[in-house]
Structure 1
Amino acid sequence: MAKGYWIVRLDISNLEPFQAYVAANGAALAQYGAKYLARAGQYQCVEGNTRSRNTIVEFPTYQAALDCYHSVPYQNAKALRDGACEIDLVIVEGYEGVQPG
């Protein structure tokens, strides 16, 4: 079964409520087996547009990624960041097909 991923790009406009969101979202992420692959580290935008912060979160399955986002605990945490940032969050299914090389 393919893994699931959240690809998150955001610009923070109000740090205090955003920090409250970060403190609150961990329980929901842990409940669904999430693991950070990238979290606000260095980056270079080599094509297109970007935001100031980038995160990739891995889930054991695509369904777990969807379920976490729609869960009550995550939605409660999300409410803390509403209005504190501009965000793009895409949930994608991992690829298990033929690889290059």
Structure 2
Amino acid sequence: MAKGYWITFYRSISDPVALAAYAKLAGPAITSNGGRFLARGGAARAYEQGTAQRATVTEFDSVEQAIAAHDSPAYQEALKALGNACERDVRIVEGLD
């Protein structure tokens, strides 16, 4: 079974306090559902049409596990704390076997 990767790009952050409240809830919600953070932070370098924005890459044992983590009550609570604090692009993609 292919692994699942949850990739998030933060285009803009308007409320760092709300983002911190989200992170306090989101991290445990993701890891308790099997997620392993592989990368978190600002871009070391951006190419082509990319921007040097904050990004996270989280690995799961499967796409289904990544989706279940996102849809879990604990993560949904984290999203409520986030509110409209930032503009993000969130993707869950299947890894290569």
TM above 0.5: yes
Which structure carries more strand by proportion?
Answer: 2
| Contact 1:3–1:93 (CA under 8 A) maintained in structure 2 | yes
- The aligned length equals 96
Structure 2 residues not aligned, in runs of 5+? none
Q: Helix, strand or coil: the match of 1:40? A: strand
Query: What residue number does 1:99 align with?
Result: none
Shift of 1:86: 0.5
Determine which structure has more spread, i.e. the larger CA radius of gyration. Answer: 1
- Would the alpha carbon gap of residues 51 and 88 (structure 1) be closer, same or farther in structure 2, given more than 3 Å must change? farther
The TM-score with structure 1 as length reference comes to: 0.88
Identity of aligned residues (%): 39
Shift of 1:51: 5.4
Shift of 1:18: 0.5
Query: What residue number does 1:25 align with?
Result: 26
The TM-score with structure 2 as length reference comes to: 0.91
Structure 1 residues not aligned, in runs of 5+? 97-101
Instruction: Please list every run of at least 4 consecutive aligned residues from structure 1 whose deviation after the TM superposition is greater than 4 angstroms.
Output: none
Shift of 1:26: 2.0
Bigger mean CA deviation after superposition, 48-57 or 68-77: 48-57
Query: What residue number does 1:47 align with?
Result: 48
